[in-house]
């Protein structure tokens, strides 16, 4: 599995990476702009991501904007579509509703992310856990 973890919080990146490190080749980014660059490079190589974990609130470019751009890049390519989990510390459902209905994310995690919850979500989407 090829995965991209995008979060401005180092602890969250490390925790998610630790949960899948045995089953995945993992790239990391700290904002949406870095994520777009990595996704563009992967698509150019024909090495699409299977999983992208994308924080909603980040500096430079937030997760919702990055999500839309990632889906546009995937649509322009000839490869697959990543499973995208949005990550939020917000208790408001509005961001998640927007991400799922308009941004085309597949599911979401709330912070603090719990390893078991993340692994359950991976199994739900038939991804290695």
**Among candidates 2, 113, 15, which has minimal Cα distance to 52?**
2
**Among candidates 43, 20, 80, 65, which has minimal Cα distance to 5?**
20
68-126: pLDDT as tens digits: 999 988 887 666 889 999 988 865 666 666 666 665 888 888 887 788 888 999 999 98
| Sequence-distant (≥ 6) Cβ neighbours of residue 28 within 8 angstroms | 4, 5, 6, 13, 17
41-71: pLDDT as tens digits: 999 898 899 999 999 888 999 888 999 999 9
Domain 2-122: give its CATH code. Answer: 3.40.50.2300
pTM for this one?
A: 0.89
Give the 3-state secondary structure of residue 7: coil
């Amino acid at each position: 599995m090829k995965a991209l973890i995008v979060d401005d919080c180092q602890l969250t990146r490390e925790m998610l990476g630790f949960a899948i490190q045995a089953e995945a080749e993992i790239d990391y980014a700290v904002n949406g702009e870095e994520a777009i660059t990595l996704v563009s490079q992967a698509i150019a190589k024909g090495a699409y991501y299977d999983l992208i974990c994308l924080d909603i609130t980040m500096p430079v470019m937030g997760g919702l904007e990055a999500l839309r751009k990632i889906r546009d890049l995937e649509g322009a390519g000839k490869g697959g579509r990543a499973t995208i989990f949005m990550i939020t510390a917000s208790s408001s459902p509005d961001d998640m509703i927007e991400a799922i209905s308009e941004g085309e994310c597949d599911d979401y995690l709330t912070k603090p992310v719990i390893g078991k919850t993340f692994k359950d979500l991976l199994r739900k989407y038939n991804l290695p856990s």
